[in-house]
Amino acid sequence: MLLIQPAAAPAQPAGKIPRLAIFSLSEPSSLMTEQSENRYYRALFAELRRLGRVEGQTLAVERYGRERNVAGAAALVAEVVRSNPDVVYVVGAGTQFFKAQTATIPIVGLTGDPIAIGLVQSLARPGGNITGVSVDTGPGIHGKRIELLREIFPGLGKLAFITARLVWEAVQGAAMRAAAGAAGVPLAEVLFEFPVSEAVFAAAIEQAVSSGANAIMVADLPDALAHRELIVKRIATTGLPAMYAFTESVEVGGLIAYSFDLAGLNKRVAADIDAILRGVSPGEIPYFQNTKFELSVNVKTAKALGLTVPATLLASADNVIE
């Protein structure tokens, strides 16, 4: 199929209310609001408002959450493309489907490494119709998470890593194996398939326990964030320490998380959306790579696990839950 690359995104005609579509295969549409329980959606809409993009006044928002994914991701993407919004914000998995189906609708993605997964050729000048923000900061993030987990749990032996097979085989596996090898930690990969459900995560946690691991790490996938309460509760029943990738997991009882700044990244997304609606080509907007991280520790959970949180770890934590 021949896709024609646009030279630039057209500026909005006077009097026309631009349309933003938000797409997520992991989260329900009900979370995609200015009053969302998820702080990053609140940050997105607050920044859009600051930029003069107010839903119902100067911006129309269409939501394509996981509840609309009844015929498969490609079919839902096709529905969005037929609707022809002025810009699409894709949260997590899905950006590749948009790349395959449209070269004209501007896309802003919250993704992993956009070069490794074939979205763009360059971070500085993405080209085409896709830009966004990347939560991928290279293989070092895995090593840092292992280091922090070992600091709070010096008895770390075999580590079970829960992630999606698709992500593991594409970019994550080699980096995680290298990080575990460098740390001298035996690794058991626990891989699940999309689509994800509570039953899928429950089975993955059971597999992690049966692997003989004495600690767990949960990958930084949107699905893990969406199902964080179930994951944290299930892992709590195992009695194993666990490292998470989202602050929100620690807020609901997880032991420790080393996470990227999702609220800050969504402010960047809002700026990209605003620029595109002002007529800037997405291909000319640099793909932003995350550089800010948050360390969160739940002291109550540590005590329940019989762990003592080192004073140095508490001093360096951005969020401490007593």
The answer to the question of residue 6 being in a domain is no
The mean per-residue pLDDT over the stretch 106-135 comes to 95
Q: Is 232 a domain residue?
A: yes
Looking at the fold, whether 186 and 314 belong to one and the same domain comes out as yes
CATH code, domain with 238: 3.40.50.2300
Of 173 and 170, more confident:
173
State the total domains in the chain.
2
Asked whether residue 215 falls in the same domain as residue 312, the answer is: yes
Report whether pLDDT(5) > 60.
no
CB contact at 8 A, 193 and 223: no
Q: What is the pLDDT of residues 77-104, one digit of tens each?
A: 999 999 999 999 999 889 999 999 999 9
Residues 270 and 210 both lie in one domain? no
Domain range enclosing 209? 140-260+293-321
The model's pTM is: 0.89
Average pLDDT on 168-192 reads: 94
Q: What is the mean pLDDT of residues 160-180?
A: 92
pLDDT at 137: 78
Q: How confident is the model at residue 167 (pLDDT cuts 50, 70, 90)?
A: confident
Question: According to the 3-state scheme, what is the secondary structure of 49-77?
Answer: HHCCCCECCCEEEEEECHHHCCCCHHHHH
Is the model's pLDDT at 146 over the cut of 90? Answer: yes
Whether 193 and 115 share a structural domain: no
Q: Tell me: pLDDT of 1 over 50.
A: no
Give CA–CA dist 286/263, Å, rounded. 19
What is the overall mean pLDDT for the chain?
94
Residues 113 and 144 reside in one and the same domain? no
Residue 182 lies in a domain: yes
Order of all β-strands in the sheet with 242-244: 187-192, 159-164, 215-218, 242-244, 256-260, 293-298, 319-321
Beta bridge partner(s), residue 90: 23, 109
Per-residue pLDDT tens for 187-198? 999 999 988 899
Greatest mean pLDDT among 6-15, 193-202, 275-284: 275-284
Beta strands 288-289 and 60-64, pairing class: unpaired
Q: At what angle do helices 198-210 and 228-238 cross, to 10 degrees?
A: 30
* pLDDT one-digit tens code per residue, 20-58: 999 999 999 999 999 999 999 999 999 999 999 999 999
Q: Based on the fold, state whether residues 53 and 91 are members of the same structural domain.
A: yes
pLDDT value for 166? 85
pLDDT of residue 102: 98
Decide: 313 and 301 in contact? Cβ < 8 Å.
no
Residue 136 has, within 13 A of its CA and on its CB side, a CA count of 21
- Alpha-carbon dihedral 316, 317, 321, 322, rounded to 10 degrees: -10
Q: Is 131 found in the same domain as 145? A: no
Q: What average pLDDT does the segment 149-153 reach? A: 99
pLDDT at 6: 38
Evaluate whether residue 198 is within a structural domain: yes
Q: How many CB atoms lie within 10 A of CB 45?
A: 21
Domain contains 211: yes
- 217 with 313, same domain? yes
pLDDT for 4: 35
Give the pLDDT score at 138: 75
> Does the pLDDT of residue 219 top 80, yes or no?
yes
Q: Which DSSP string corresponds to 222-277?
A: HHHHHTHHHHHHHHHHHT--EEES-HHHHHTT-SEEEEE-HHHHHHHHHHHHHHHH
pLDDT of 11 strictly over 80: no
In a domain, 254, yes or no: yes
- Identify whether residues 272 and 214 lie together within a single domain: no
Does one domain contain both 312 and 202? yes
**Is residue 12, in this structure, part of any structural domain at all?**
no
Least confident of 12-26, 32-46, 263-277: 12-26
The fraction of the chain above a pLDDT of 70, given in percent, is 96
Question: 300 and 255 in one domain?
Answer: yes
Query: Residue 101: inside a domain, yes or no?
Result: yes
- Per cent of the chain over pLDDT 90 is 87
Higher pLDDT, 139 or 286: 286
Q: Do 89 and 183 reside in the same domain of the chain?
A: no
